[in-house]
Structure 1
Amino acid sequence: MEISEIIQAQKAYFQSGKTLEVSARLEALGRLRSAIETREEEILEALREDLGKSRFEGYMSEVGMVLDELSYMRRNLTRLASPQRVRTPLAQFSARSFRLPSPYGCALVMSPWNYPFYLSITPMIDALAAGNTVVVKPSAYSPATSALVVELVRECFQPEIAAVVTGGRDVNQSLLDQPFDTIFFTGSKTVGRLVMEKASAHLTPITLELGGKSPCIVDRSADLKTAAARIAFGKFLNVGQTCVAPDYLIVHADIKDEFLALLAAEIHKQYGEKPLENADYGRIISEKHFQRLLGLMEGGTIYMGGQHDGSRRMEPTVITDVTLDSPIMQEEIFGPLLPVLTFRETADIYPIVAANPTPLAFYLFTTDKAQERELSRRISFGGGCINDTIIHLATTEMGFGGVGESGMGSYHGKAGFDTFTHYKSMVNKANWIDLKMRYQPYSEGMLKMVKMFLK
């Protein structure tokens, strides 16, 4: 089917009202779960083919999180899709006020290559749970996973409910010219701006999950050994190709040497003395990104790592003697390079973070409660962790999203349902009584009564 035909079919199906039945949504989600469980090994193999991900990492960071989102929706969908009663003002007596969850219609989900299964399927789950039809556009940079997503969705759904469209930039352009009812995009800021511009032609609501340079601060009070382990995990998961990976370190000058030694030891512990010989350590997605990362190594001192091979594999690399003017501090890294800056006073941190647009994530390692309160409140960011990295996104109980240039809107769990839902504000007024004070002709007495209710 052509793109326009798919969208017309989905809009017609949505208009039929068939997606509004909660039982139908639950049945669809159940089919998807069964198919994912059946194809688990195929999914993990596709992730290894595209990104070199190990089975453990592929399940932990993609398949398992998709199943968790499915579990949440199937467990809570009846409640989420029900009208939500709210308080009625006394001036509207007698009436019942409620918010009525209503799907937007035909949704477009555009996903990136770094977590190609999770970031394609999870927003689709949220959209279907909310009662929408969905067109998914996976990345051309992860062809094995994209092909599997095509098969999976085709197996589970008729194209008028959910369909996958593959291709490159020309397909993206064609999709963005279509009159979708809502668009969910995960990817770069550059493409995010294009999505926003295209959506404005149809006044289409959008959700943008972008990125940014996410700071990781380690102060003198931190548990340094634990911090080293958790930073190494969060930074080098998926070879650093994670939108919420710690992008750079800001370490107190007094503990810099001690901490870097612990960090180096932890990297070797997790990835081996020769990470390039570790079969569970992945690779950079493309030659273009690989060459970009090689260029970012210049302008600092390689404290550890720096080795790479011809299969786009690059060691976890820590870089010191970095300034805000260094190339590596001018853009989001999205790879296994970790630059290190230092601070002495808390006030030194703010201009470092402010030198880049609002970050998607923020990480602080400290046992100083005053420091925790001040930094987490004063610095603007999408979400983050105290004394850990990246795990704030691995929950269905909190929304995940950015702010400012790191994105708009959020998803996961209820937040995901809300993202693909318009809430109709409704009042159901009783007929047995009718307060006359709002009707003309007006009088001073009626005005006094209005002021009693509205003040």
Structure 2
Amino acid sequence: MSREQQVVDRTRRAFRTGRSRPLEFRIQQLKRLWSFIKERQEEICEALRRDLGKSELGSELYELLVLEAELKLAISRLAEWAAPRPVEKNLLTLTAEVYVKPEPLGVVLIIGTWNYPWPLTLLPLVGAIAAGNAAIIKPSEVSSNSSKVMEEHLCHYIDQDLYPVVAGGVQETQELLRLRFDHVFYTGSSRVGKLVMEAAAHHLTPVTLELGGKSPCYIDKNSDVRIACRRVTWGKFVNCGQTCIAPDYILCEPCIQGQVVECIRQTLLEFYGADPKCSPDYGRIINQRHFNRILSLMEGYTPVVGGQSDSSQCYIAPTVLKDVPPHSRLMQEEIFGPVLPIVTVSDMDDAISFINEREKPLALYVFCSDKKAIKRMIEETTSGGVTVNDVMMHYTLSSLPFGGVGQSGVGCYHGKHTFDRLSHHRACLVRSLNMESVNLARYPPQDRRRARRARMALRSPLIDMSKRTLIWAVVATILGVCLSIALLVILLIAAGLNCTCWYWRGFYN
């Protein structure tokens, strides 16, 4: 039996004890995970510096703050999220207790990635713990220093049987994927995502795949180009371009292409100085393989901004390329590095067609001041998420679902969306054995009268027992009964008066 098999078996046995289910235990584990991040922050930041060249402040801003916010939200809202959720009833189930109960799925496999190794590995864990699951954490071996900190220290804070860390490379990941889980959560490339989905299909295991793709950024000629370029420059070159929702390329009309280039040049000077290589805020490519891959994408182009590189440090300067052909190799695969191509389009119609002719992106960015044009761009395109007049900020909101569509991903998470994604929503209906006469309409032998009653009950408007709808339904029913009685009384009185009139008419005649 392999080491991975032993870990999975131990984790499943721990889950079957039921200790991950009580809300008190879940909250306790979430608080301990928060303590891990706080107490080990110095080691985490050092690991990120070694892996990706991130500064301490950059690590805190882009890696840890989002984790702390997610933990705070889950701890404060868990009782609300996990509570049974009443649903609407029909007349046949009016006296029954009907609700949806979120339940743990079981043992979840979380396969993290290397570009933001802490939030992209531990955010799914927050949701897994909150939903009452056990989880096996597989950090990326590419960000080896972060993986080592996670493996060595996480077990001292949270339950090591319910939430073990399995370090290792491709072989260990493949071995884990060979085994059965109740959900697989993977963040990474589309190529590996297909392999994960294929492996999960053997066990009918549901998956969440947070992938990537080429996220377009359209800049309208009538927008404030200077501010647009400032925001695009930040989103593209933070973490040295190694962000799944970074703007992958710019679409704009030829008349503003030169202005876009110049505004980006000026912004880079403001952000990173004359030599970004010396800036503490500018990172490095994760390893030599990715360094070579990015340089090969730039072959044949003359950069209008940047282009310098240093193999010994895996350094590539912030680079801008203009007049990039739509069908070039650079436009066929996700860049995932500090290279920003500009593709010219004739107008917004052309931009929409350009976007729709390609795979659905993880994110779409639109810079435009015309509300009608913005609405049109949103309605006539598809993407995992869309941000207008900014980039990447939709990721920071736990209230928004984060995820892809089509080739850019399957499923979504963040905040309550993670809790729901990693929960089974169990349908529950609880009735008494009384009032059996209500059920006669559904029992044989059937006749027209019973069938008519059943149709009326099933076609009746759904009644929301948890809101004012119930009150109005009761009031309406009472009023209806009262009106019926009043009408009956009026008819009886009218009939009585009619009889009396006939009596006296006969008497006098």
Determine if the TM-score, normalized by the shorter chain, exceeds 0.5: yes
SS in structure 2 at match of 1:164 = coil
Deviation by residue 1:69-126 (Cα, 9 ceiling, x = unmatched): 1001001001111111111112222112100000100000001110011111111111
Residue matched to 2:319: 317
The letter for the 2-side match of 1:35 is F
Deviation by residue 1:361-394 (Cα, 9 ceiling, x = unmatched): 0000001111100111111100021000011011
Residue matched to 2:392: 390
The letter for the 2-side match of 1:52 is G
- Measured after TM superposition, the shift of residue 151 of structure 1 is 2.3
SS in structure 2 at match of 1:97 = strand
- Measured after TM superposition, the shift of residue 355 of structure 1 is 4.0
User: Structure 2: how far apart are the matches of 1:208 and 1:279?
Assistant: 33
The letter for the 2-side match of 1:332 is E
SS in structure 1 at match of 2:136 = strand
The letter for the 2-side match of 1:9 is R
Q: How many residues align?
A: 455
User: Structure 2: how far apart are the matches of 1:56 and 1:353?
Assistant: 36
The letter for the 2-side match of 1:209 is E
Q: Which runs of 5+ in 2 are unaligned?
A: 460-509
User: Structure 1: how far apart are the matches of 2:38 and 2:152?
Assistant: 14
One of 425, 428, 444 as aligned partner of 1:426: 428
For the structure 1 residues 62 and 114, does the alpha-carbon distance in structure 2 shift closer, same or farther, using more than 3 Å as the test? same
The 5 Å alignment of 1:207-218 reads 207-218=208-219
Residue matched to 2:330: 328
Two-structure CA RMSD over aligned residues (Å): 1.2
User: Structure 2: how far apart are the matches of 1:177 and 1:259?
Assistant: 49
- Measured after TM superposition, the shift of residue 157 of structure 1 is 2.4
Residue matched to 2:12: 11
The letter for the 2-side match of 1:362 is L
* Counterpart check, 1:449 vs 2:457: no
User: Structure 2: how far apart are the matches of 1:100 and 1:437?
Assistant: 29
Residue matched to 2:465: none
The letter for the 2-side match of 1:123 is P
* Counterpart check, 1:148 vs 2:149: yes
- Measured after TM superposition, the shift of residue 39 of structure 1 is 0.9
User: Structure 2: how far apart are the matches of 1:408 and 1:62?
Assistant: 23
Question: Which structure shows the bigger proportion of residues in helix conformation?
Answer: 2
For the structure 1 residues 413 and 161, does the alpha-carbon distance in structure 2 shift closer, same or farther, using more than 3 Å as the test? same
User: Structure 2: how far apart are the matches of 1:362 and 1:320?
Assistant: 20
Residue matched to 2:117: 116
Residue matched to 2:22: 21
User: Structure 1: how far apart are the matches of 2:91 and 2:268?
Assistant: 63
- Measured after TM superposition, the shift of residue 187 of structure 1 is 0.5
Residue matched to 1:415: 417
* Counterpart check, 1:369 vs 2:387: no
The 5 Å alignment of 1:193-212 reads 193-212=194-213
User: Structure 1: how far apart are the matches of 2:165 and 2:386?
Assistant: 32
Residue matched to 2:266: 265
Divergent runs of 4+, >4 A:
none
Alignment TM-score, normalising by the size of structure 1: 0.98
Deviation by residue 1:334-368 (Cα, 9 ceiling, x = unmatched): 00000001122222113322343110000000011
User: Structure 2: how far apart are the matches of 1:314 and 1:229?
Assistant: 20
Aligned residues of 2:29 and 2:159 also touching (Cα < 8 A)? no
User: Structure 2: how far apart are the matches of 1:40 and 1:433?
Assistant: 62
Deviation by residue 1:11-50 (Cα, 9 ceiling, x = unmatched): 1121121111000000111111112111111111110110
Aligned residues of 1:315 and 1:336 also touching (Cα < 8 A)? yes
Residue matched to 2:224: 223
> Which moves more between the two structures, 7-16 or 370-379?
7-16
> Which moves more between the two structures, 252-261 or 48-57?
252-261
User: Structure 2: how far apart are the matches of 1:249 and 1:206?
Assistant: 32
Aligned residues of 1:300 and 1:321 also touching (Cα < 8 A)? no
Aligned residues of 1:321 and 1:340 also touching (Cα < 8 A)? yes
- Measured after TM superposition, the shift of residue 6 of structure 1 is 1.6
* Counterpart check, 1:345 vs 2:347: yes
Aligned residues of 1:29 and 1:70 also touching (Cα < 8 A)? yes
- Measured after TM superposition, the shift of residue 301 of structure 1 is 3.2
Residue matched to 2:485: none
- Measured after TM superposition, the shift of residue 430 of structure 1 is 3.0
User: Structure 1: how far apart are the matches of 2:366 and 2:355?
Assistant: 13
